[in-house]
Amino acid sequence: AQTVTQSQPEMSVQEAETVTLSCTYDTSESDYYLFWYKQPPSRQMILVIRQEAYKQQNATENRFSVNFQKAAKSFSLKISDSQLGDAAMYFCAYRSGWDSGSARQLTFGSGTQLTVLP
Amino acid sequence: DAGVIQSPRHEVTEMGQEVTLRCKPISGHDYLFWYRQTMMRGLELLIYFNNNVPIDDSGMPEDRFSAKMPNASFSTLKIQPSEPRDSAVYFCASSRPPRGKRDQPQHFGDGTRLSIL
Q: Which residues pair with B10 in a beta bridge?
A: B113
| B42–A54 CB contact, under 8 Å | no
CA dihedral sign, ordered A90, A92, A70, A74? positive
| pLDDT at res. B104 | 81
Interchain contact A104–B (C-beta under 8 A): yes
* pLDDT at residue B52 in the model: 94
Reply yes or no on whether the pLDDT at A102 is more than 60.
Answer: no
What distance in Å separates the CA atoms of residue B81 and residue A53, rounded to the nearest whole number? 42
Which residue in B44, B101, B110 is closest to A43 by CB distance? B110
What's the pLDDT band for A103 if we cut at 50, 70, 90? low
Tell me the count of A-B CB pairs closer than 8 A. 59
pLDDT top residue among A102 and B64: B64
pLDDT score of A39: 96
pLDDT in tens, B26-42: 999 999 999 999 998 99
B55/A110 CB distance under 8 A: no
Q: Of A42, A95, A103, which is closest to B56 when you measure between CB atoms?
A: A103
Bond from prior residue into B8 cis (ω within 30 degrees of 0): yes
Query: Could you tell me if A90 lies within 8 Å of chain B, comparing CB atoms?
Result: no
- Is residue B81 predicted with pLDDT exceeding 60? yes
Q: A105 vs A80, A98, B28, CA distance in Å?
A: 29, 11, 18
The verdict on a CB contact (< 8 Å) between A52 and B103 is yes
Q: Is B108 in Cβ contact with A45 (below 8 Å)? A: yes
pLDDT tens digits, one per residue of A24-68? 999 988 889 999 999 999 899 999 999 999 888 999 999 999 999
Contact A98 B105 (CB under 8 A): no
Nearest CB to B48 within list A44, A97, A105: A105
| Mean pLDDT value of segment A9-20 | 97
What is the rounded average pLDDT of the residues A80-94? Answer: 97
